[in-house]
Structure 1
Amino acid sequence: MKASLAIALSAAAAVTVATPLSAAKRAACPATPSTANFSDTKLTNPFVFADGTSVTTKEDWACRAAELSALLQDNELGVIPPPPTSLTSALSGNKLTITASNGAPSISFTVTLNMPAGATATSPVPAVIAFGGLSIPLPAGVASIIFDNSGFGEQNDQSSRGVGLFFDLFGSDASAGAMSAWAWGVSRIIDALEQTPESGVDLSRLGVTGCSRNGKGALVAGAFDPRLALVIPQESGSGGAGCWRISDAMFADGVVTQTASEIVQENVWFGLAFNAFANNVTALPVDHHFLPALVAPRGLFVIENTFFDWLGPLSTFGCMSTGQTAFTALGVTDNMGYKAVNHSDHCAFPAAIQPQLTAFFDKFFFGQDTDTSVFSTDGGFIFDKDEWITWETPTLSGSLVQEI
């Protein structure tokens, strides 16, 4: 599997919606060698290509982001396919029905649009795509789009592998795990919205959110479609905002937290290729500080909960602290925030986080100059950067242009 990484990279990077470069520009980027002998006990440097070349400019970063995208797909998530050859949409009331096909077979699914009064094609409003339903409050004037992600890629247990609408289209043996399937589905929702301006949704002000397992999915979807201006994963924990390496260290220290070896037995969120790393994450050429790096420079507000050790509070804080370095390198540190608050009701929204959530909405949906510099936890622990980070964050020169 790993020996074919260079081939998988060229295929995935050329067609994946998330790739921030056109195929022609991607071809000019450094080639990624096989990572068959990869090993890193630390959090791998996002500012060095797999071939050892340093990232020094924002143009370099666009190439590195395409590489990170491919590495995540090849080794952990499974490949996110290109858009379908045919996609049509039909709006009836507040229901948007989307039909996608690659000839045959085809699939259809419906999302619910909850629109504020007055939203029209000439006066569109921002909208948040919510995995499974909303668990955070939305400001007045913001629409919600409810996505049945479990119907798109089932997530009951191991028996869910290859089950759902995505797999009806691409085959039950597709390499994608459920989260890759969901990310593909979110991109199709955005495609359909582009076809239906009468929905009243402003495509320049789109967000995505979800909680717990759906928070994992929201973070992945946000990393893999640059059309999402604001990404808000809530209590995604291990397998989401947490880093595999830190979670393993927590478990070794006696903290009962979710690890890679447990998660691959629990459900099918990840591709089968990830199973090879579950008991040896130091051989994994990626970790989840790469996910916020792929969101950068767009808006990202990570909400976590220190009450549950299972969610890996130290892991998520340390992982996202490390991921924020990509925002810093691009000169937009405050575009990413993190706040973890202790409360016993999983997926409830704590009032203590409301000011920061409002600030992110106001900045990325309403163009206001707000303070989004939050990065805090009430967990009472310290993330030892010297233990996990052996590299410096560069200041990247030049300009970054994201393309779809």
Structure 2
Amino acid sequence: MLSPAQASALLVALGAAGVTAQTQNLWGQCGGIGWSGPTTCASGSYCFHQNDWYYQCIPGAGPTTAAPAQPTTTLISTTKAPTYSSSTAAAPSPTTSVPSAGGGGVCPNVPTSLGASVSTLPDPFTFAGGQKVINRADWTCRQAEIKALFEKYELGTLPAKPTVSASYSGSTLSITASTGGKSISFSVTINKPSGSGPFPAIINYGSYGASIPVPSGVATILFNNDDIAAQQDGSSRGKGKFYDLYGSSHSAGALTAWAWGVSRIIDALELTKSQTNIDPTRIGVTGCSRNGKGAFVAGAFEPRIALTLPQESGAGGAGCWRLANWQNSNGYNVQDAKEIVGENVWFSPNFNSYVNNVNQLPFDHHLLASLVAPRGLYIMENPDFEWLGKISTYGCMGAARKNYQALGALEAFGYSQVGGHNHCSFPGAQSSELNAFVSKYLLGNSGTTTGVFRTDQNLNFNIESWCPWTVPSL
């Protein structure tokens, strides 16, 4: 007798066999766990592994036009989380030059060990040492602390700025970064609108073009993030130009390496402003799915980004680890921390030690959004794909919105969950929202109305029960 897993695999195989004569359209699904539809993409596109649940037809000539075999999931387990002492290499403490009333005049040091386990979402407005955030100077210190904690326990260390040089020819911006006697070079393609400029620009993760409609008057910069840090599977660890420069054992996961690459693009734009005719003070960043996670981290780590536009980033992006676990314990099938570290190398290897008990982490991804605040942030999610975590992203970003509330900047925050479309295809129902955010934060139309928090689902979820803390007015 077949086991349930074998029976499920057989049904998937039989379903796929029945549609071999069909081809999937561009941007359509072509594989993934439980998928029984077409696995061959239309001419001019190939089946790209977004994650174990979703393969998508994207433009280009990839390694294959059919979906790879159905993946298996490897869970990384641990029996004890490591402890950190003062001698342990860790992310540097935040600057001590920022005055802080709540912190006694300077920013408190980043703790060298984990605090108490917290089952609800950690308080954005309380330092790890227990001090309260009571003013904007405190908030600056708290952001520095949050960033250091993300680097230490989940994302890996973001290196200091290297020496950067750049040149521009045609539509190609060539960038060289040098440090420690080593150099790497990469390039991006800039597609500019008609007009005199200087133009704002959106950096798009992926060299095949943006999956959101870029409004008129805005340039697009195509960033081949895979060139900076590979992300094929677990064997990609330490591969890519970032690791050629800093060493294959560097703690940064791919998401941090890509954020580093975005920062180097902005460095280069600052150096070549008169040649590119791009305004480096009006930069947005976007990407979808795995690249949406990357865009979110870039917006969090790079303060020169004016507008962050993650699309369907799910777990590891707009979703909170604690909420994903809660969903799975209540019968959902959501990508969580245990699964995601076995799938790919987006996170630091340091994170592996915490995925079986995410409650011990001193942060969750509502605090990733706090690193963007109060800059523009518009998050697009799709509830039709359960593994993305329609509740975990909604609840997580509902908590994140409180960061903007404290700063009196609710108009700069947007979360929009709209179904009825393919993964990484853009629904028309979000067009007016996207255009409004781009108009205000990239095109400079200050009178534009922004700020949105909505879902087209009946989620019946109480955000407040996960946020047992008081929102101050900073």
Asked if TM exceeds 0.5, the reply is yes
Between the two structures, name the one with larger relative contact order (CA 8 Å, sep ≥ 6).
1
**2:403 corresponds to:** 326
Counterpart CA distance in 2 for 1:359 and 1:5 is 47
> Are 2:107 and 1:29 equivalent residues in the alignment?
yes
How many angstroms apart in 1 are the aligned matches of 2:112 and 2:328?
A: 30
Which range is displaced more, 4-13 or 44-53? 4-13
2:437 to 356, 360, 367: 360
Aligned equivalent of 1:17:
none
User: Could you tell me how far apart the structure 2 residues matched to 1:341 and 1:242 are?
Assistant: 16
> Deviations for 1:155-182, whole angstroms, at most 9, x for unmatched residues?
1100000000100000000000000000
Which AA in structure 1 matches 2:454?
Answer: S
Asked if the contact 1:244/1:281 (under 8 Å) is kept, the reply is yes
**Aligned equivalents of 1:304, 1:4: Cα separation in 2:** 39
1:310 matched to 2:383? The reply is no
- Within a 5 Å distance, the mapping from 1:127-206 to structure 2 comes to 127-132=201-206, 133-197=209-273, 198-206=275-283
Q: After superposition, give the CA deviation of every residue in 1:273-326 in whole Å (9 maximum; x if it has no partner).
A: 110111111111111001111101100000000100000010001101101111
Given that 2:93 and 2:109 are in contact with CA atoms closer than 8 Å, whether structure 1 keeps it comes out as no
Q: What secondary structure sits across from 1:25 in the alignment?
A: coil
What is the identity, as a one-letter code, of the residue corresponding to 2:307? L
- What is the CA distance between 1:105 and its match in structure 2? 1.9
Distance 1:135 1:235 in 2: 11
RMSD: 1.6
Which of 446, 454, 458 is the equivalent residue of 1:376? 454
Contact 2:115 2:128 survives alignment (8 Å): no
Larger proportion of helix:
1
- Residue in 2 aligned with 1:11? 92
Rounded to whole Å, the distance in 1 between the matches of 2:182 and 2:354 is 34
Distance 1:9 1:273, change over 3 A: closer
**Alpha carbons of structure 1 residues 357 and 51: separation in structure 2 relative to 1, 3 Å:** same
The alpha carbon displacement at 1:28 in A equals 2.2
Change (3 A) 1:365 1:265: same
CA contact (8 A) 2:114 2:361 kept: no
1:53 to partner: Cα distance: 0.2
Q: What SS class does the counterpart of residue 200 from structure 2 fall into? A: strand
Aligned counterparts of 2:112 and 2:93: Cα–Cα separation in 1:
15
C-alpha change, 1:48 and 1:8, in structure 2 (3 Å) is: farther
Q: Is the 8 A contact 2:93 2:110 kept in 1?
A: no
d(CA) in 2 for partners of 1:273, 1:7: 13
Alignment equivalent of 2:326, drawn from 222, 235, 249: 249
SS of structure 2 residue aligned to 1:112: strand
Is 1:238 equivalent to 2:319 in the alignment?
A: no
In structure 2, C-alpha distance between the alignment counterparts of 1:164 and 1:382, rounded to whole Å? 43
Aligned-partner SS, 2:217: coil
- Contact 2:292–2:312 (Cα < 8 Å) also in 1: yes
Could you tell me whether the CA contact under 8 Å between 2:286 and 2:310 is conserved in 1? yes
What is the TM-score when the length of structure 2 is the normalising length? 0.79
Establish whether residue 71 from structure 1 lines up as the match of residue 149 from structure 2: yes
Per the TM alignment, residue 6 of structure 1 is displaced from its structure 2 partner at its CA by: 9.1
Partner letter of residue 190 of structure 1? I
Q: How does 1:381-396 map to 2 (within 5 A)?
A: 381-396=459-474
* SS of equivalent to 1:295: coil
Match status 1:126 vs 2:203:
no
Mapped partners of 1:301, 1:313: distance in 2: 16
* Count of residues paired in the alignment: 384
2:51 corresponds to: none
Q: Distance in 2 between matches of 1:98 and 1:135?
A: 25
- 3-state SS, counterpart of residue 249 of structure 2: coil
Matches within 5 A, 1:279-358: 279-358=356-435
The amino acid that maps onto 2:226 is: S
Q: Which runs of 5+ in 1 are unaligned?
A: 15-22, 397-404
Aligned partners of 1:317 and 1:338: how far apart in 2? 8
Query: 1:42: which partner in 2?
Result: 120
